[in-house]
Amino acid sequence: MARATRTSPAAAAVAGIAAALFGAGVGEIVAVFVAPAASPVAVIGSALIDFAPAWAKETAIALFGTADKIALIVGISIVLVLVAAIAGLIERARPPFGLALMIVFGGVGVLAAMTRANPGQLDWVPSLSAGVAAALALNLLIARLPERATAPAEDVGSDAEETAVRPAAASRRTFLLWTVGTAAVGVLATVGSSVARAGSRAVTAVREALTLPTPAVAAAPVPAGAELGITGLDPVVTPNDRFYRIDTALIVPQIDPAEWSLRIHGMVENEVTLTWDELLALPLEESHTTLACVSNPVGGDLIGNALWLGYPIRELLARAVPQADADMVLSRSIDGFTASSPIEALTDERNAILAVGMNGEPLPPEHGFPVRMVVPGLYGYVSATKWVTELEVTRFDKATAYWTTRGWSERGPIKLQSRIDVPKKQQGMSAGDSVIAGVAWQQQVGISAVEVQIDEGEWQQATLATAISNDTWVQWSIPWTATVGDHLIRCRAVSATGEVQTADVSRVDPDGATGWHERFISVFA
């Protein structure tokens, strides 16, 4: 008699997905206990970030902004679901190759984990566990694939065949139960691991219990005229929770300050090591510095201004005594990110600091806790290393930083720029008296004027707020009587040395965007 029943490919694909969810959950839970930094999703994501070409990073930032990491995790999840479904299909047709595919996928995680900077000894465990768990679950589910009735046409209608279909319905229910159960365990494990992760962040507790020393050199108070207080205009000092975040770290490095140290080495007379307690015992200085990302497009929001507390890097380099022909300092973070700063930017009189405080509190974890660099006048990618643990004194012709190997310029001085904040983008507004306002910056140089042009007319002088310093952005505003219709508003800044912001448009890569910020505004009656 011909075989009356067989299994459905759709069910096999679903089994694959459920098994993968189970494996992923197991991997995440195992990670919490044996290797918190090596969660399978995180290591695969980090590897993708590191191997992604520069344009991919730009596209991600352009599409998703600072939500680029969430987008990446969603992307990885989609790939995971696809591979899992395929594994299910293969296992149904050609066992045990579906199981093998699950293990290989876990192996990709192991490879990603072990090729990261500073991998832990057990970093291979979570991904391997994930692969093995997924394979076991798949084996179990495929064995329970329901047989579906595909009776040949001539058999239909016979009572005997009708009864033969019934066990299939029962086996369908069993399969469903197992599948849903397996997937649910996976999802619960994933959720549970992220809860456990948040709870076990001992470093968070250490940070919260911390009181930073009183600065030896306090910043002058923010001048009364620095904050125009216009609704929709970015505040002159950016609160920490509103400060943009850009980095390659999928999981924020957790560094216990008690275990932190900085090593200054390379082309130096004396190697210097500095511990957290030693750093805090030094006379710390406060300064306002506006940090900007090279990936900030004209008019973008990858920029913020904070009050930083830290110790001048120049003093530490002086202890190390750099060799005369050294021209670069390669700063390295615990997760392997590196930045190349020209040595003169760290040794001249500017406030290039090893920062421990941001707006009156210890650095938030995602902004580099416990210690980061802040260097006025340089884009973050060549200076603002977070979770910094190493300064290697070297030469531009000897060493290359993270983004330079990905096509970005080895040097990144911040370009003269200005931005319109109000009226807001695409905000329909009503005619009458209103205001145009924004910010302008060229760290280390300062701003002498901002000009505004409406509908290709004459450039008009905006009123500048009082700058906190030459290392910070400055707010500006200009009254505007808005008339009904569509308008084009442009702004451009003039630096303290008289340079007028160029109209030439250049992309963010390789060394920062240029061009005028412009906004189309519709004014209604």
Ligand X SMILES: Nc1nc2c(c(=O)[nH]1)N[C@H]1C(S)=C(S)[C@@H](COP(=O)(O)O)O[C@H]1N2
Residues at the site binding Mo ion, with contacts judged by CB under 5 A: 246, 293, 380-381
Nearby residues of 227 by Cβ (< 8 Å), 6 or more positions away: 235, 236, 237, 465, 475
Residue 408 touches ligand X, criterion: CB under 6 A: no
Q: Inter-axis angle of helices 40-51 and 124-142, to 10 degrees?
A: 120
- What is each CA distance from 497 to 260, 298, 417, 449, 465, in whole angstroms? 41, 21, 14, 11, 18
Cβ-closest position to ligand X:
380
**CB closer to ligand X, 333 vs 442:** 333
User: Does 333 participate in binding ligand X (rule CB under 6 A)?
Assistant: yes
Q: Single out the residue of 126, 380, 423, 512 in contact with ligand X (rule: CB under 6 A).
A: 380
Check the CA dihedral 101-104-109-115 and report its sign.
negative
Q: Which CB, 199 or 239, lies closer to ligand X?
A: 239
What whole-number distance in Å separates Cα of residue 523 and Cα of residue 325? 59
Using the minimum distance from each CB to ligand X, give the nearer residue, 38 or 291.
Answer: 291
| Distance in Å from the first CA to the final CA of the chain | 82
Q: Rounded distance, CA 378 to CA 412, Å?
A: 6
As measured in angstroms, the least distance from the Cβ of 473 to Mo ion is 16
Q: What angle do CA 54, 240, 247 make, to 5 degrees?
A: 20
Closer CB to Mo ion, 63 or 220, in the complex? 63
Taking the complex as a whole, the smallest distance from the CB of residue 387 to Mo ion amounts, in Å, to 15
**Looking at 87-95, 143-151, 384-392, 492-500, which segment touches ligand X (CB under 6 A)?**
384-392
Q: Kindly write out the interface string for residues 278-317 of this chain, putting x where it contacts ligand X by CB under 6 A and - elsewhere.
A: -------------x-x------------------------
Q: Are 444 and 415 in contact (CB under 8 A)?
A: no
Query: Residue 227 Cβ, how far from ligand X at the closest point, in Å?
Result: 21
Q: How far is the CB of 306 from Mo ion (least distance, A)?
A: 15
Instruction: Show the DSSP H helices in 115-158 as ranges.
Output: 124-142
Q: Which does 332 bind (CB under 5 to 8 A by kind): ligand X, Mo ion, none?
A: none
Q: How far is CA 221 from the centre of its chain?
A: 32
Q: Between residue 203 and residue 262, which ones bind ligand X under the rule CB under 6 A?
A: 243-249
Residue 296 beta carbon to ligand X: minimum distance, rounded to whole angstroms: 8
Handedness of CA 385, 388, 389, 393 (dihedral sign): positive
Residue owning tokens 């009050």: 307
317 close to 298: Cβ distance less than 8 angstroms:
no
Q: Which does 384 bind (CB under 5 to 8 A by kind): ligand X, Mo ion, none?
A: ligand X
> What's the closest the beta carbon of residue 432 comes to Mo ion, in angstroms?
40
Question: 370 or 380: whose CB is closer to ligand X?
Answer: 380
The reply to whether 175 sits near ligand X by the rule CB under 6 A is no
CB of 66 to ligand X, least distance (A): 9
314 or 367, CB closer to ligand X? 367
**How far apart are the C-alpha atoms of 100 and 242, rounded to whole Å?**
46
Nearest approach, Cβ of 226 to ligand X (angstroms)? 21
137 or 339: CB nearest ligand X: 339
105 interface partner picked from Mo ion, ligand X, none, CB below 5 to 8 A per type: none
Spatial contact of 207 and 357, defined as CB atoms under 8 Å apart = no
- The option from Mo ion, ligand X, none interacting with 385 (CB < 5 to 8 A, set by class) reads ligand X
Is residue 381 near ligand X by the rule CB under 6 A?
A: yes
Q: How far apart are CA 212 and CA 411, in angstroms?
A: 33
H or E element that contains 56: helix 54-64
Residues ≥6 apart with Cβ < 8 Å to 55: 509
Q: Is 114 helix (H, G, I), strand (E, B) or coil?
A: helix
Question: What is the total count of residues that contact ligand X (CB under 6 A)?
Answer: 19
3-state secondary structure at position 65: helix
Choice between 387 and 476, CB closer to ligand X = 387
Q: Note whether 144 binds ligand X by CB under 6 A.
A: no
Cα distance between residue 315 and residue 254, in whole Å: 27
Question: Binding ligand X by CB under 6 A: which of 284, 384, 464, 493?
Answer: 384
Judged by CB under 6 A, does residue 385 bind ligand X?
yes
390 contact, one of Mo ion, ligand X, none, CB 5-8 Å limit per kind: none
Inter-residue contact 387 to 363 (CB < 8 Å):
no
Closest distance to ligand X from the beta carbon of 461 (Å): 31
Residues 94-113 binding ligand X (CB under 6 A) are: none
387 lies in the site for ligand X, by CB under 6 A: yes
Q: Which chain residues interact with ligand X by CB under 6 A?
A: 243-249, 291, 293, 333, 335, 337, 367, 380-381, 384-387
